[in-house]
């Protein structure tokens, strides 16, 4: 099939490369000429493991093309995907749909023959109706169908998530469009991936419901972690103890500094906005948004408390800036709350992230960037782990100890053992694992 993708960001680029790898002929379009030129030269605009090789092989096989000119891409396409951004609208938190509607207008002007217009961007319920209306108005005679096909990939594991998804959701009431979507995803049918056909509105809501549920789950375990600290329990054991219950499931139960990233913050906000507009508030999600925002702010206080309550003139070595490992995405990362608060309290901050320092440099002021984890903590009074990159999981603690001036370690991802760190002479603080209790005999073995 011939596919055009409008918007070559995380979702557009990964979807385009994967569809091409399935054997379809894909043209990725973006307005950003620099991005397209770089892609033509084989330079990825984002850090995503395996993406450069996947793009290179499909470009070489002439199944994947990049352009700023939507005309050729859309004219011959069986399916045109809209994968543009839907950020939070300033002021009210509603999803800003101007890019989606802009793309719809463009598609309307250029499509030729029966075309399936697929909204892959995360969009509020009813957006598909609006997209259909825009196209119908511009081209009353055109044959087309507007389909919702939300994307569930995770940054950092995007290719695997696209190629081996838990499910594919397709929202359409149009029989012809359904056949086109089936053909596009046929390679996944062969893997027995569940493909769920729903109405368009249901499909749009599924995406928000999924993200909101995951945000609830993370926030739940984060609050359990706070309670663990008060009552003397270990949150990792609580997670395991509840996660083994098949009704709960073990994933998304790692306590940490609060969720961030390009999706959960804006999607939870947009869902509550839609729910309020329809007079059916989702109060649990309202609360989750507030709790998470407060949590990100509280993390700086946790660091300051671990350093004795005053960080004036102290140096803090920070490991990890991206909102999670394996991405350079800094959107709504907890580090964006934590670092300025530490600076405002008088600390000097030296940070290292394997991939996100370039992005972070645009968003954080007066941070010194180091070339490695060890360089970041050189002469530091404290080391703070914010992102759980693999390379931070087995640091040479002897070398860290020698490099540091102080001995305070604040591990906001629980990647080290309190007992082990205490043995090594660190004053170690983590999330929901009060040190005196984790040392008690009889603690559950985590395997
Ligand atoms: N990033 C994720 O992990 C993820 C996961 C699932 C769903 N989503 C959703 O997918 C959508 C896209 O997210 P993203 O992170 O890929 O965004 P992004 O900001 O990385 O990329 C969007 C791209 O669209 C381009 N663009 C905007 N208008 C255009 C137009 N008219 N023509 C051509 N190009 C245009 C921009 O230049 C940009 O490169 C959002 O709705 C998001 O919520 C994202």
Q: How far is the CA of 148 from the centre of ligand 1 (A)?
A: 15
Q: Which of 85-99, 195-209, 255-269, 340-354 has the lowest mean pLDDT?
A: 85-99
The pLDDT assigned to 446 comes to 45
Q: Measured between alpha carbons, how far is 167 from 127 in angstroms, rounded to an integer? A: 22
Nearest ligand 1 atom to alpha carbon 262: 1
Q: What is the pLDDT of residue 91?
A: 82
pLDDT at position 339 is 98
Decide whether any atom of ligand 1 lies within 6 Å of the 27 Cβ.
no
> Is the CB of 81 inside a 6 Å radius of any atom of ligand 1?
no
Task: Evaluate: CB of 208 within 6 angstroms of ligand 1.
Answer: no
Mean pLDDT (the chain) is 96
Residue 444 predicted with pLDDT over 80: no
With a cut of 50, say whether residue 135 has pLDDT above it: yes
Counting atoms of ligand 1 from 1, which one is nearest the CA of 150? Answer: 7
pLDDT at 185: 97
Cβ(8) to ligand 1 under 6 A? Answer: yes
Catalytic positions, written as ranges: 263
Spacing, Cα 429 to ligand 1 middle (Å): 38
258 — pLDDT class (breaks 50, 70, 90): very high
pLDDT over 70 at 447, yes or no: no
Q: How far, in Å, is the centroid of ligand 1 from the Cα of 203? A: 18
209 CA distance to ligand 1 middle (Å): 20
Query: Ligand 1 centre from 100 Cα, in Å?
Result: 9
* pLDDT at res. 190: 80
Is the shortest distance between the CB of 103 and ligand 1 below 6 Å? yes
Is ligand 1 within 6 A of the CB of residue 235? Answer: no
Please check whether residue 296 is in contact with residue 386, taking contact to mean a CB–CB distance below 8 angstroms.
no
Q: What sign results for the dihedral spanned by CA atoms 323, 16, 165, 217?
A: positive
* 395 burial level (CB within 10 Å; 0-12, 13-18, 19+): middle
Q: What is the average per-residue pLDDT within 93-108?
A: 97
pTM for this predicted structure: 0.94
Across the range 209-233, mean pLDDT stands at 98
Mean pLDDT over residues 205-233, rounded?
98
Question: Which has the closest alpha carbon to 344: 368, 316, 311?
Answer: 311
- CA torsion angle for 11, 14, 19, 20 (degrees, to 10)? 140
38 ligand 1 Cβ < 6 A: no
pLDDT at 436: 59
Task: Provide, rounded to the nearest whole percent, the portion of the chain with pLDDT above 90.
Answer: 95
Q: Taking residues 51-64, report their average pLDDT.
A: 98
Ligand 1 contacts CB of residue 28 (under 6 A)? no
Q: Which atom of ligand 1 is nearest to the CA of 32?
A: 37
Give the whole-number percent of the chain exceeding pLDDT 70: 97
pLDDT tens per residue, range 153-202 = 999 999 999 999 999 999 999 999 999 999 999 999 888 899 999 999 99
Evaluate whether 181 touches 170 at the Cβ level (below 8 Å): yes
Q: For residues 159 and 358, what is the distance between their CA atoms, to the nearest angstrom?
A: 23
Helices 283-306 + 335-344 axis angle, to 10: 40
75's CB contacts (< 8 A; 6+ apart) are 110, 111, 112
- pLDDT 10s digits, 419-439: 999 999 999 999 999 875 554
- Ligand 1: which residue has its CA nearest to atom 44? 11
- The predicted-structure confidence for 354-405, as pLDDT tens digits, reads as follows 999 999 999 999 999 999 999 999 999 999 999 999 999 999 999 999 999 9
CA of 216 to the centre of ligand 1 (A): 24
């Amino acid at each position: 099939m011939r596919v055009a993708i409008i918007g070559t960001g995380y979702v557009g680029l990964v979807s385009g490369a994967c569809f091409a790898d399935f054997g379809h002929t894909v043209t990725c379009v973006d307005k950003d000429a620099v991005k397209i030129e770089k892609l033509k030269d084989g330079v990825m605009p984002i850090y995503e493991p395996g993406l450069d090789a996947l793009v290179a092989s499909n470009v070489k096989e002439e199944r994947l093309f990049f352009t700023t000119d939507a005309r050729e891409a859309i004219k011959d396409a069986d399916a045109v995907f809209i994968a543009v951004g839907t950020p939070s609208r300033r002021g009210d938190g509603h999803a800003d749909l101007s890019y989606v509607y802009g793309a719809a207008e463009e598609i309307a002007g250029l499509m030729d023959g029966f075309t399936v217009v697929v909204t892959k961007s995360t969009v509020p319920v009813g957006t598909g109706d609006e997209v259909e209306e825009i196209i119908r108005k511009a081209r009353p005679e055109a044959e087309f169908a507007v389909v919702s096909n939300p994307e569930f990939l995770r940054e950092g594991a995007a290719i695997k998530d696209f190629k081996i998804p838990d499910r594919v959701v397709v929202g359409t009431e149009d029989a012809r469009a359904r056949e086109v979507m089936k053909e596009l995803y046929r390679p996944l049918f062969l893997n027995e991936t569940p493909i769920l056909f729903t109405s368009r509105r249901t499909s749009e809501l599924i995406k928000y419901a999924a993200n909101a549920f995951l945000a609830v789950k993370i926030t739940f375990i984060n609050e359990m972690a706070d309670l663990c600290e008060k009552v003397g329990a270990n949150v990792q054991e609580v997670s395991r103890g509840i996660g083994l219950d098949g009704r709960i499931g073990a994933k998304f139960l790692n306590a940490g500094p609060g969720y961030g990233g390009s999706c959960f913050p804006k999607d939870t906000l947009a869902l509550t906005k839609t729910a309020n507009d329809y007079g059916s508030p989702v109060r649990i999600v309202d609360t989750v948004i507030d709790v998470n925002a407060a949590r990100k702010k509280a993390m700086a206080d946790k660091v300051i408390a671990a350093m004795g309550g005053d960080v004036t003139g102290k140096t803090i070595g920070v490991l990890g800036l991206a909102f999670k490992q394996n991405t350079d995405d800094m959107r709504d990362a907890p580090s964006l709350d934590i670092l300025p608060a530490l600076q405002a309290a008088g600390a000097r901050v030296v940070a290292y992230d394997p991939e996100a320092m370039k992005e972070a440099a645009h968003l954080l002021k007066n941070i010194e960037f180091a070339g490695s984890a060890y360089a970041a903590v050189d002469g530091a009074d404290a080391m703070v782990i914010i992102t759980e990159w693999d390379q931070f999981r087995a640091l040479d603690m002897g070398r860290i100890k020698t490099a540091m001036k102080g001995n305070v370690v604040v591990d906001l991802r629980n990647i080290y053992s309190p007992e082990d760190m205490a043995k090594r002479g660190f004053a170690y603080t983590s999330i929901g694992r009060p040190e005196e209790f984790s040392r008690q005999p009889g603690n559950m073995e985590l395997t």
